[in-house]
Amino acid sequence: MKYRKIIATNPFVLIPLYLILVSAPKPLVMAADPEPSNNVPTVIQRVESGWNFAREMAAKYAKARYPQYFPEVPITKRTQFNVFTMDQENGYGNVWWATIETNPIPADLARAQRRVARLGSRIEILVKSITNAPPVTLKFRVVSDDSFNATCMVGGRITVNSGVLDVTRNDDELAFIIAHEVGHAVARHAGETMTREIMRKGGLDAAAFIADWAESQRHIQKGTVTNILVGLDVATVLTTAYPHKREQESEADYLGLMLMAGAGFRPEAAVDLWRRVASSRSDPGSSIARAVAKYCGTHPPDSARIAQLQAALPDARRFLQTER
């Protein structure tokens, strides 16, 4: 009875279970149904089937029991884990945005600012019409930076580098860049990332405590604690933080494609843009270098992003018809 009460009153008891059972990402674009087979399922297939069923049940229970910690991402319907409220995220975003607003917009970027704001407002109108979209406060700002990049900070504060406008050839391509960042905001990726980082750091703190105790008891040699913790830090970044970031980028691509299509922009422009961007990047070289770039990067490889965008185009066209 005592343990049942603890589970019923403390949502954090569910966190490890939820992360284990729901950690595997769901495909954003559904694959075709496999060909029917008369073969008897193998033991591995049976185990995988049972594991997937348990994961789904855990996700449903967590979402129903503690909806404030397990919100559903609009459109993709992915259940995420986020301990931050929308008010907290907006508060953090306001603090960061204040540092941006103190810098006046350069005269040579005034026209670009009006263009980005105009395109962003079209996407924002669509976001407000989505039933389960979070109440993000979208703000857009062009910053003087020649690199091809845009950023969505916590709470939906979005900056677009001036270098993006040099690469994009039309409003449709620029709309995808903006919609991609809006996708991050709608999915509340910043709050989700902060939540996972808190848990990762908490795990490292626990490991540090155990390692210090082991060193004090002379179970491990003096001076090895630092090496152990550095190794754990790098390992958790490569195996949890980076893969999750790449999953978020893929989800933002998918959401961005849906949002730009729903706002009346041509979704095929996203594929055109990314093909051109990919062709302009230098080849990493050897297979080892490519593997390092793939697994140590915060974004999926360009080839994977292009393939995912192409596969999602039918969904975007259907979304366009739905929103009309």
Domain annotation covers residue 99? yes
Are 11 and 69 in contact, with CB atoms under 8 Å apart? yes
Residue whose C-alpha is closest to residue 180's, from 143, 140, 147, 144: 140
**pLDDT bracket for residue 176 (50, 70, 90):** very high
For 61-113, the pLDDT digits (tens) are: 777 888 888 899 999 999 889 999 999 999 999 999 999 988 899 999 999 99
Q: What is the per-residue pLDDT for 27?
A: 47
Domain count, the chain: 1
- Residue 308: predicted pLDDT: 97
Share of the chain above pLDDT 70, in %: 81
Alpha-carbon span 41 to 2, nearest angstrom: 41
Report d(CA 98, CA 141) in Å as an integer. Answer: 12
- The answer to whether residue 18 sits within a structural domain is no
Confirm whether 95 is domain-assigned: yes
Give the range of the structural domain holding residue 216, as residue numbers without chain letter: 67-324
User: pTM of this prediction?
Assistant: 0.82
Q: What is the pLDDT of residues 254-289, one digit of tens each?
A: 999 999 999 999 999 999 999 999 998 766 655 665
How would DSSP label each residue in 39-86? Answer: SPPPHHHHHHHHHHHHHHHHHHHHHHH-TTTSPBPTTT--B----S-H
pLDDT at 30 over 50: no
Judge whether 8 lies within some domain.
Answer: no
Highest mean pLDDT among 28-37, 38-47, 299-308: 299-308
The one-character DSSP state at 124 is H
- The helix/strand/coil state of 38 is coil
Mean pLDDT on 187-195: 95
- Which two tokens mark 151? 């950023």
Alpha helices, DSSP H, located in 187-301: 189-216, 224-236, 242-262, 268-280, 287-295
Position 29 in a domain: no
DSSP 151: E
Query: Is 317 domain-assigned?
Result: yes
The mean per-residue pLDDT over the stretch 161-175 comes to 97
141 strand-pairing partners: 159
Token pair for 154: 């916590």
